[in-house]
Structure 1
Amino acid sequence: MDNQDKKRLQIVDAATKRFTHFGMAKTTMAEIAKDLSISKASLYYYFPDKMHLVMAVTEKLVSSIFDALNQKIFKLQTLEESIYFLLELKLKFTIDHYNLLEMILGTFSETPPELEELARKSHQEEINIISKLLQQADQRGEIKASDPDELAEIFSNAMTGMRFSVLKDGRRIILPSKSKFDEMVKKQKKLAKLIIKGLKQA
């Protein structure tokens, strides 16, 4: 990581702390620059406005969950255990960062293209992870998966479809309540168990 990347990361970390403690509306670029003992001009060199900084904070949050997933998920022993871990980690991530996520999504009256693209990439990354899990399970003889990429897309879309009506309202992404998230994960686990049972019998 070069010096520019390090500085950019420092700015994102400082902004995340500010946004979490004081809210986005009450946080100014000048305050973030002051926290880092840099000039506003230096801050604007990396981020031309607060919206670009908000997107960078969001990207880092999303990246952190995939880092945590990749550290453990492929070491688990069964497909069901791995899928449950994925769903539980996403739930924990959402609960841990609920206030910040709520502020981020509340910043936009409509979902910006950059956030939609980030959501698309995240969904594809999840599909890739599930595909690898299916391949591992097939190699262990746990299931039969002749086309793991296609199965992974179906699997992920089924999980997404279960929460779609709660998470989406027109073009604006909405966070459901924490209790709703817990309810969705329980239903997703039941659906995942049914899908895995079917793959074992294929």
Structure 2
Amino acid sequence: MVDDKRNQIIEAALKRFSHFGIAKTSMSEVADDLKLSKANLYYYFPDKFALIEAIAYRIIDESDAAIEKAFDEAEGTLDLLIRMLEMKKAYVEKYYMLILNLHEMNIHEEKWKTLAERLFQREVGTISRIFEQGIARNELVTFDVAATSELYVAMIRGLAMFCDHAAPHALIDRDEIARIFEKQKQAAAIVINGLRDR
């Protein structure tokens, strides 16, 4: 019952954040959507950041099944990396307004840095699994998986920040998402071609 109510709050907040934006949504509005008292809402989520954090982990959990399916179906390391990029692109398109709003939040606060670091490390972990599988299948040469995975994730994220922009963190419009995705695919191919066991 507690989990059901918590999930209902996350769903309602995700819908409202995605439509109106994070900054323009109050906790009272989320409570009103569910006909909850503010006190009841704050019982589950003490502040807006706690709700945003729960949404971030909900989206990650949602992607886990798709990631496992990709591991089962992909034909090699490059195919798997491209599937990861396709998933990321689909989530950026699906949660575009939410992601846009996160750029406006104060990411210099310690709680934001901690969340960003957790999400980064989770992504690095997935890429490490992909590289380790490639090495185990003798598709890739042996290399420092941890360091290379971190570098790969930073590079892919860097392309999203700088692609077609003179400055990082410039807001990306929907048309640019496809162009960034193509450049990320090209970068993934360059990395894997350099790591192939010839």
TM range (shorter): 0.7 to 0.9
Distance 2:70 2:161 in 1: 24
Which residues of 2 match residues 98-117 of structure 1 at below 5 A?
A: 98-106=96-104, 108-117=105-114
Aligned to 1:145: 142
Supply the AA of the counterpart residue of 2:195.
L
Q: For residue 37 of structure 1, give the secondary structure of its aligned residue in structure 2.
A: coil
Aligned mates of 1:161, 1:26 — CA distance in 2: 28
Which amino acid in structure 1 is aligned with residue 137 of structure 2? R
Match of 2:186 among 172, 190, 196: 190
CA distance in 1, matches of 2:197, 2:123: 24
**What is the one-letter code of the residue matched to 2:114?**
E
* Segment of structure 1 superposing worse, 39-48 or 24-33: 24-33
Distance 1:154 1:118, change over 3 A: same
C-alpha change, 1:150 and 1:20, in structure 2 (3 Å) is closer
Hey, what does 1:16 align to over in structure 2?
14
| Deviation (angstroms), 1:181 | 2.3
Matched, 1:165 2:162: yes
What are structure 2's unaligned runs of at least 5 residues?
Answer: none
Q: TM-score scaled by structure 1?
A: 0.81
Task: Mark the runs of 5 or more structure 1 residues left unpaired by the alignment.
Answer: none
**Distance change (3 Å), C-alpha of 1:195 and 1:26:** closer
Moved more, 87-96 or 14-23: 14-23
- Structure 2 equivalent of residue 87 of structure 1: 85
| One-letter amino acid matched to 2:173 | S
Task: Give the direction of change, closer, same or farther, for the CA distance of 1:136–1:26 in structure 2 (3 Å limit).
Answer: closer
TM-score by length of 2: 0.82
How many residue pairs are counted as aligned between the two chains?
196
CA RMSD, 1 decimal: 2.7
Letter of the 2:37 counterpart: S
1:35-81 Cα shifts (integer Å, max 9, x gaps) = 3233221112122333433343344334433x244332211121010
1:40–1:133 CA distance, 2 compared to 1 (3 A)? same
Question: How far did residue 92 of structure 1 move?
Answer: 1.1
